[in-house]
Chains A and B, each alone.
Chain A
Amino acid sequence: MPLSTIDQTGITSPVGPLVLTGVIDGSNASAGTVGEYVSSTVAGGSAVSLTTATIANITNISLTAGDWDVSGSIGLILGSTTSINYVAGGSTTTSAGNPSLGAVFQFGYPTGGTVIGVSGVGPIYTVPTARFSLSSTTTIYLTVQAQFSTSTCTAYGVIRARRVR
């Protein structure tokens, strides 16, 4: 089947849809090309200590100019008696900053706090996918804030980006 036709004036017209084939060899897209992938993870084994009601950076990624989709997840490790009033987090271009709506999750718990650190198993939250259209190399931070009491709270997580164009 022909992929294109040429009329009498020399104008080329495509025939049928353009099909872009993906890779099947487990390789990565090169830096600067569509599909480029960047990620950084702080695992639970190296979680960052939090101060109550204070925004903290968990980790960050450096993205070159381009149109990127950024997402991630954030987990908390709690002391067995830790009570939490609220948790918020997400991705932002500001160090220790508040993420914008669309790049943030936020949960509030009943007044007085709820013990959710039973047996040391804490929650994991999804950071929504957000678009970052960048004209120069920019650092994107994974930030979190929790108001907690009684015992400790540490945070870990992943931030990942895919170049869309």
Chain B
Amino acid sequence: MKYATVRQDGVTEVREDSHPLPEGAFLLTDYQYDQLLSGQYILQNGQIVANPTPPKSIG
């Protein structure tokens, strides 16, 4: 199961495990999971939106 949680310090954690979905977590599709891992998108108010300041990559 893939999901995202927002920590108290505002940092978004994207997780994958076989445990029950934690309270307040956002269940992710494979596509959404890959979007968030790319750094090009962020979770904002429960929605996945384009990151206004995406990390630069040479890849």
Binding site for B on A (CB under 8 A): 28-31, 36-48, 59, 61, 75, 77, 119-122, 156, 158
The minimal Cβ–Cβ distance linking B14 to chain A, given in whole angstroms, is: 4
Binding site for A on B (CB under 8 A): 1, 10-19, 36-43, 51, 54-58
27 pairs from A and B in contact (CB 8 Å cutoff): A29-B18, A31-B19, A36-B17, A36-B18, A37-B16, A40-B13, A40-B14, A41-B15, A42-B13, A42-B14, A43-B38, A43-B42, A44-B39, A45-B12, A45-B36, A45-B41, A45-B54, A46-B10, A48-B11, A59-B11, A75-B55, A77-B55, A120-B55, A120-B56, A121-B57, A156-B39, A156-B55
Contact between B12 and A39, CB atoms less than 8 A apart: no
- A31-B19, A156-B39 known; A44 and B55 CB under 8 Å? yes
Q: For residue A121, which residues in chain B have a CB less than 8 angstroms away from its CB? A: 56-58
